[in-house]
């Protein structure tokens, strides 16, 4: 587009804008890809920054092409955004040079110089666009070289890699870089720099006034800030995500104010909202100080910004507000430099301004694994903002002129929907339902009342819609009884809000009722916000949220939640193992369904599991081992044929019922042994599940029962473990749905010495497969191929008795001292089992 003449554009503005938007989308996708090296961290930030640059520029060009803006306004519309990106990209390039990332340096500095030359060309027509085009051409050449290098490296499997094109994985990165500190933080700072530049330029005389041409930049910054918010939730950084959510609300409001100028409407800002917003920013800054003093101080500038908005009726169009934004521009640039350097430097750090790592385990969900941190802090804060925003009244003025619509629709609507989506991803169904339902209500009510539609829709139709929301909220309020007092009061106070909406819709609202209930709801929401941000920051003390008002059997009902940790992590298995070593009982996934387990060397835990399950006499607990090695100390008490059968059949979904004997005393069960098996027999199993066997290796043999009350269906999901057993368990290993919904096959081995086995239950392993395995073991015994693990005991028995014949040796093997090496069956010796799954 830089090849055109001043009289004729090489590419029409609309086409150029659409092309830039498409390229921006592709670049943004590249930016959100996972990064594992210093170069990739910088490249990710660079891609997202450039994407925002081209997105904002593209929208401006589209407005010019569609005659919304005059061609003469193109310069004043583009310059504020280009100035911000010139500085941001120069900072990224400077840090890239310090850490010797040549490709990122050339790309970022090249685009920065292109933006600077573009500003010069827009300001002075005689400057021309040649320098801008030359810089972009340099960037294109570098990108083509790097892309070709990566393609060549992929094709040759890394054997050929041109210099400077490799994104080698640096193992030490995660220890040198701040763990949990996402590179999205850099993009958030760039977006703050962008909006501050747009608002500060009118004050500095760079552009005549804030106009509709600046809306693309402000709303681009808002949308990207929402994306950063989501990425920070994925990085488990609740405080930073909440801050980005707050700033996104401000940017949408700034863009809305600039948009009204196109319709010759002068917006006025009500005092309550920015005043409350400044309080929320202050609290957030206070808690952010425990992570980084510099970050907390940075957020105080936004406190001053909100106060400036409240102090001036015309808000974003007056000098005080714009002056604070000029200060934010300078501070954001400094924060961008410091944060970028700290994130990628492996040799030195700027002292006193290091961001502290976040504890991801702090946000582990109650019901399993999640990629997101808890978003309740932002959700309740948005409720506070929406509630105090609607206290403003339009009176006889145009409702659009009162700056309420962006606060209600964005804070109460869009951000609530985002929080509901995050809550759903975390497995919090109730919280997700509440935030999504309330977000929809705030959006509908905000657009209806403050979007200029209220006069035409007042009456029965609007009342019917509000009544529908009230009915849904009645169900939410009833469900909150089972959670805690705070959620119940929160839902009940929102019901009062809905009642005020209904009375207003039928023109029967008592004077001051709506103001009173919105203040009540706002205060309740503020308490929930404060409690959640405090409790997520400090382990103790905790601000109380109250216990459940109603409790059902089997539900935790607001009690302390036991650990629900992802089974895919070795640290999670170790955590559950420690709980079991200390006498706890836990839910665990297996190769079939979920089970309730207790360590055999903790008899008190076995008794507890028996009582929790309310075990029926005909459904006794069973014994599980991780391998036959755990029976080594008692193998002289077991039949050689039985042990060979175990070796051939395990690990698998086969439970073997064997005769009860003195060998049970070696597991430390004590009096709790009566709860495992029957007086005559006991079921024993070696599961074909890596999580289960790893846990048993850590704690020793375990007593097992199904994780459901007697008489109910098997438990096939970790959520069901909590739903059925509630706070009666001390921990749950979460692995989602069970791989199979069929129980194990239970084989009767009590008469195995006679050459016969029976079946109590045919489950996952077919009867034919079990019989095939057993027949193979019998065949080897008939041919004299006994288990080599018992040969030492055989010779020892011969030396001691000197009375047994050689033909009886195989029958008596396995009753020695237990010093032999355990036998391992090869796949060829047990083909039936190995191919049966």
What is the full DSSP assignment across 711-735? Answer: TSPPP-BHHHHHHHHGGGSSEEEE-
- Mean pLDDT across the stretch 666-685? 86
549, 485 contact by CB (below 8 A)? yes
- Mean pLDDT across the stretch 298-310? 92
Least confident of 529-543, 643-657, 787-801: 787-801
**Which has more pLDDT, 708 or 670?**
670
State the pLDDT at residue 171. 36
Mean pLDDT for the chain overall = 80
Q: Identify the H or E element spanning 616.
A: none
DSSP alpha helix (H) spans, 345-484: 376-389, 405-406, 415-425, 429-450, 454-457, 460-480
State the pLDDT at residue 554. 43
Q: How far apart are CA 324 and CA 332, in angstroms?
A: 12
State the pLDDT at residue 26. 92
State the pLDDT at residue 501. 87
Whether the pLDDT of residue 657 is over 70: the answer is yes
Q: Tens of pLDDT along 54-78?
A: 999 999 999 999 988 888 888 899 9
- Mean pLDDT across the stretch 173-201? 74
Whether the pLDDT of residue 462 is over 60: the answer is yes
- Which of 614, 566, 630, 576 has the alpha carbon at shortest distance from 598? 576
C-alpha dist (Å) from residue 202 to 262, 309, 507: 16, 16, 44
Least confident of 145-154, 438-447, 545-554: 545-554
Q: What is the DSSP letter of 743?
A: -
Least confident of 71-85, 148-162, 163-177, 756-770: 163-177
Whether the pLDDT of residue 802 is over 70: the answer is no
Strands across the sheet with 622-624, in order?
Answer: 564-566, 731-734, 586-588, 595-599, 702-706, 622-624, 681-685, 654-659, 745-748, 758-761
State the pLDDT at residue 482. 87
Q: How far apart are CA 127 and CA 119, in angstroms?
A: 10
Q: How far apart are CA 124 and CA 131, in angstroms?
A: 13
Return the percentage of the chain with pLDDT > 70, whole number.
82
Q: Sort residue 606 into left (φ over 0), alpha (ψ -120 to 50) or beta.
A: alpha
Q: Tens of pLDDT along 259-293?
A: 888 888 877 777 788 889 999 999 999 998 888 88
151, 90 contact by CB (below 8 A)? no
Least confident of 139-148, 273-282, 734-743, 788-797: 788-797
279, 285 contact by CB (below 8 A)? no
User: Band of the pLDDT at 455, cuts 50, 70, 90?
Assistant: low
Whether the pLDDT of residue 47 is over 70: the answer is yes
Whether the pLDDT of residue 174 is over 50: the answer is no
**Which has more pLDDT, 501 or 708?**
501
Token pair for residue 803?
């009375």
Whether the pLDDT of residue 173 is over 50: the answer is no
Token pair for residue 303?
């406190």
704, 680 contact by CB (below 8 A)? no
- Mean pLDDT across the stretch 114-123? 89
Return the SS3 of 395. coil
DSSP assignment of 453-484 = -HHHHTTHHHHHHHHHHHHHHHHHHHHHTTT-
Q: How far apart are CA 256 and CA 262, in angstroms?
A: 10
36, 180 contact by CB (below 8 A)? no
Q: Which residues pair with 758 in a beta bridge?
A: 748
Least confident of 250-254, 294-298, 792-796: 792-796
State the pLDDT at residue 630. 85
State the pLDDT at residue 561. 61
User: Band of the pLDDT at 454, cuts 50, 70, 90?
Assistant: low
Q: Tens of pLDDT along 83-94?
A: 999 999 999 999
- Mean pLDDT across the stretch 800-814? 37
**Which has more pLDDT, 88 or 722?**
88
Query: b or e along 302-331 (b: 16 or more beta carbons within 10 Å of the residue's beta carbon)?
Result: bbbbbbbbbebeebbbbebbbbbbbebbeb
Number of H helices, E strands in the chain: 29, 10
Whether the pLDDT of residue 8 is over 60: the answer is no
Q: Which residues pair with 704 in a beta bridge?
A: 597, 622
Whether the pLDDT of residue 835 is over 60: the answer is no
**Which has more pLDDT, 369 or 202?**
202
């Amino acid at each position: 587009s830089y090849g055109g003449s001043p009289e004729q554009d090489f590419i029409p503005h609309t086409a150029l804008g659409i092309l830039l938007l498409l390229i921006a989308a592709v670049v943004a996708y590249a930016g959100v890809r996972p990064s594992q090296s210093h170069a990739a961290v910088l490249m990710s930030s660079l891609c997202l920054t450039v994407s925002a640059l081209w997105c904002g520029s593209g929208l401006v060009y589209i407005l010019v092409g569609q005659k919304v803006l005059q061609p003469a306004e193109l310069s004043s519309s583009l310059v504020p955004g280009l100035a911000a990106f010139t500085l941001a990209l120069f900072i990224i390039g400077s840090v890239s040079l310090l850490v010797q990332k040549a490709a990122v340096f050339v790309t970022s500095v090249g685009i920065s110089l292109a933006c600077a030359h573009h500003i010069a060309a827009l300001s002075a027509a005689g400057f021309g666009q040649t320098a801008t085009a030359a810089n972009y051409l340099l960037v294109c050449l570098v990108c083509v070289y790097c892309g070709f290098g990566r393609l060549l490296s992929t094709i040759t499997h890394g054997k050929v890699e041109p210099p400077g094109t490799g994104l080698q994985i640096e193992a030490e990165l995660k220890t040198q870089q701040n763990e949990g500190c996402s590179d999205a933080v850099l993009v958030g700072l760039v977006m703050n720099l962008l909006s501050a530049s747009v608002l500060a330029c009118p004050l500095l005389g760079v552009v005549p006034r804030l106009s509709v041409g600046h809306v693309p930049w402000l709303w681009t910054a808002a949308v990207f800030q929402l994306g950063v918010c989501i990425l920070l939730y994925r990085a488990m950084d609740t405080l930073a995500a909440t801050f980005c959510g707050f700033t996104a609300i401000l940017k949408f409001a700034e863009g809305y104010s600039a948009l009204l100028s196109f319709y010759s409407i002068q917006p006025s800002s009500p005092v309550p909202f920015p005043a409350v917003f400044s309080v929320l920013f202050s609290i957030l800054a206070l808690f952010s100080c425990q992570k980084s003093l510099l970050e907390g101080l940075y957020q105080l500038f936004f406190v001053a910004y909100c106060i400036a908005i409240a102090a001036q009726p015309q808000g974003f169009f007056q000098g005080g507000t714009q002056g604070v934004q000029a200060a934010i521009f300078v501070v954001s640039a400094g924060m961008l430099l410091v944060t970028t350097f700290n994130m990628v430097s492996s040799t030195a750090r700027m002292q006193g301004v290091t961001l502290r790592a976040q504890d991801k385990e702090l946000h582990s969900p109650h019901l399993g694994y999640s990629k997101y941190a808890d978003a309740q802090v932002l959700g309740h804060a948005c409720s506070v903002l929406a509630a105090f925003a609607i206290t403003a009244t339009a009176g006889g003025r145009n409702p659009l002129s009162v700056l309420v619509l962006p606060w209600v629709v964005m804070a109460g609507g869009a951000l609530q929907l985002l929080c509901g989506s995050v809550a759903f991803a975390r497995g919090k169904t109730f919280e997700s339902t509440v935030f999504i339902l309330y977000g929809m209500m705030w959006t509908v009510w905000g657009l209806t009342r403050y979007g200029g539609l209220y006069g035409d829709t007042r009456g029965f139709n609007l009342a019917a819609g509000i009544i529908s929301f009230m009915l849904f909220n009645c169900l939410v309020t009833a469900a909150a009884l089972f959670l805690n007092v705070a959620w119940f009061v929160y839902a009940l106070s929102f019901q009062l809000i809905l009642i005020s909406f209904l009375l207003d819709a039928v023109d029967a609202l008592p004077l001051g009722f709506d103001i009173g209930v919105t203040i009540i709801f706002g205060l309740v929401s503020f308490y929930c916000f404060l409690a959640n941000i405090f409790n997520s920051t400090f382990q103790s003390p905790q601000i109380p949220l109250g216990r459940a008002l109603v409790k059902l059997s089997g539900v935790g009902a607001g009690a302390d939640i036991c650990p629900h940790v992802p089974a895919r992590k070795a640290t999670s298995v170790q955590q559950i193992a420690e709980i079991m070593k200390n006498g706890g009982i836990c839910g665990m996934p297996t190769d079939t369904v979920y089970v309730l387990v207790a360590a055999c060397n903790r008899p008190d835990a076995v008794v507890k599991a028996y009582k929790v399950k309310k075990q029926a006499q005909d459904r006794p607990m069973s014994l599980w081992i991780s391998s036959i090695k755990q029976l080594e100390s008692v193998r002289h008490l077991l039949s050689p044929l039985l042990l060979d059968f175990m070796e051939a059949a395990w690990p698998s979904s086969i439970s073997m019922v064997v005769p009860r004997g003195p060998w049970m005393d070696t597991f430390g069960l004590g009096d709790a042994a009566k709860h495992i098996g029957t007086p005559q027999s006991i079921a024993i199993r070696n599961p074909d599940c890596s999580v289960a066997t790893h846990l048993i290796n850590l704690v020793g043999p375990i007593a097992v029962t199904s994780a459901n009350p007697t008489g109910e269906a098997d438990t096939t999901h970790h959520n069901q473990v909590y739903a059925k057993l509630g706070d009666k368990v001390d921990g749950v290993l979460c692995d989602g749905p069970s791989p199979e919904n069929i129980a194990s096959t239970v084989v009767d081995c009590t008469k195995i010495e006679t050459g016969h086995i029976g079946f109590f239950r045919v489950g996952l392993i077919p009867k034919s497969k079990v019989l095939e395995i057993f027949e193979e073991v019998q065949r080897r015994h008939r041919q004299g191929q006994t288990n080599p693990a018992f040969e030492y005991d055989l010779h020892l028995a011969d030396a001691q008795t000197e009375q047994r014949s050689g033909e009886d040796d195989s029958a008596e093997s396995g009753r020695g001292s237990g010093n032999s090496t355990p036998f391992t069956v090869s796949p060829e010796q047990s083909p039936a089992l190995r191919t049966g799954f």
